[in-house]
Amino acid sequence: MNPAHAPGTSGTSGMPATSGAPRLHHRAEGPASAPALLLGPSLGTSLAVWDPQVPALARDHRVVRWDLPGHGDSPSALPEGATIADLAALVLDVADSLGIDRFHYAGISLGGAVGAWLALHHPERVSSLTMVCSSAWFGPADGWRERAAVVRAKGTGVMAESAVQRWFTPAFDGAGPFLEHLRGVAADGYAACCDALASYDVRAELGGIAAPTLVIGGRDDPATPPAHARELADGIPGATLVEIPGTAHLAGVERPEPVLTALLAHLGDGDGARRYAAGMGVRRAVLGDAHVDRATANVDAFTADFQDFITRYAWGEIWTRPGLDRRTRSCVTLTALVAGGHLEELAMHVRAALRNGLTPDEIKEVLLQSAVYCGVPAANAAFAVAQRTLRESQEPNR
């Protein structure tokens, strides 16, 4: 195997592509012997759009992500007038170069359309299909051809303002890196993908998809509204539909954990999905939605493993155990944080203790007890943090 295509690495070259075009840039992660999972991105994004989900997925799958032509590190390998079939051929070429005959497939929007085409035309290769914020038809061809012409003339930067409105809800504040990437996408690559979307329409063929299929939709998605997801789920035999509230088109970025939970369950990692889902439920109940939303919004390739770990292990396996109630667990946690001098975490868990039913007087008693066994200096610092946190919790709008 070419080292450029070994698990955990990426590459755009090696054996000549079967189509004669340069190979799509791709990255393979996870055990080489595990079942393969191909992840497709959406128009204007890169393989990084899957960063929040990959660490968990790569535990039990050989995950292969790829960049669209002209996106990320992929060459602009499609000519004007390209089709979804042309894109699918490039994806199959990547799989062939890695020795992957059969694979699970999940794709976002345009990436989902590629998956639908593969499931229809190469059913022997697709073990399961997941379509995230995707569609059987993305609207009239003229609109896509017009967009392609604009981008060819003016570049992809002209799409940034409208993209952020399609991709994210107004509440999401992490759009910056995605818009920066969009502005760097090659105009001819983006436009060729628009051409492919212009000619894509599998509404009459959905009944021919035999692979077990999961459809994920964003309730606030203006690009592929919930009706598109429901059309897919109604048309594909046996398909499962999951609609996620509070997210627009890039649901896996804005609400990464419900997308991951649904995908893990679909892929058969039921136990892992249950632990993650249970952990996320407790984490939100104890720390609050605002804190967890900030933490998940900041997930990147560097921190995703740790976020997955604490959600499954700390929250999904320890905080969910029946042996202690949450009030008692808060008391134990406060004491441990005082002993370790972890004052930033202490402030977070003082707020958590209030949510778990402790009163300020009970928190004070925990800190007094800690002074005896953890030391007066540690307790002194803890009292200062707790006092400030309790005052803040009593302020309006806190």
Q: What is the mean pLDDT of residues 56-70?
A: 94
If we measure between CA atoms, which residue out of 137, 91, 98 comes closest to residue 115? Answer: 91
Give the pair of three-digit tokens for residue 272: 């892992």
Q: What is the mean pLDDT of residues 48-65?
A: 93
Domains identified in the chain and CATH numbers: 3-268 (3.40.50.1820), 270-320 (no CATH), 326-394 (1.20.1290.10)
Dihedral (C-alpha) 180, 56, 277, 343: value to the nearest 10 degrees?
-70
In terms of average pLDDT, the best of 75-79, 118-122, 340-344 is 118-122
C-alpha–C-alpha distance, residues 240 and 217, integer Å: 11
Residue 136 has pLDDT above 60, yes or no: yes
pLDDT for the residue numbered 294:
82
pLDDT for the residue numbered 304:
79
Residue 18 has pLDDT above 60, yes or no: no
Residue 133 has pLDDT above 60, yes or no: yes
Question: Where is pLDDT greater, at 370 or 9?
Answer: 370
| Cβ atoms 7, 100 nearer than 8 A | no
Q: What is the mean pLDDT of residues 11-30?
A: 65
Residue 12 has pLDDT above 70, yes or no: no
Residue 130 has pLDDT above 50, yes or no: yes
pLDDT for the residue numbered 272:
66
pLDDT tens figures, 114-123: 999 999 999 9
What is the pTM assigned to this prediction?
Answer: 0.73
C-alpha–C-alpha distance, residues 378 and 180, integer Å: 45
pLDDT for the residue numbered 306:
87
C-alpha–C-alpha distance, residues 91 and 233, integer Å: 24
Question: Where is pLDDT greater, at 263 or 16?
Answer: 263
pLDDT tens figures, 238-258: 999 999 999 999 999 999 989
The CA-atom distances, in angstroms, between 330 and each of 15, 192, 206, 364 are: 57, 55, 51, 13
Tokens 């059969």, residue?
Answer: 102
pLDDT for the residue numbered 10:
47
pLDDT for the residue numbered 298:
76
pLDDT tens figures, 301-317: 788 788 888 888 899 89
| Cβ atoms 196, 83 nearer than 8 A | yes
Residue 8 has pLDDT above 80, yes or no: no
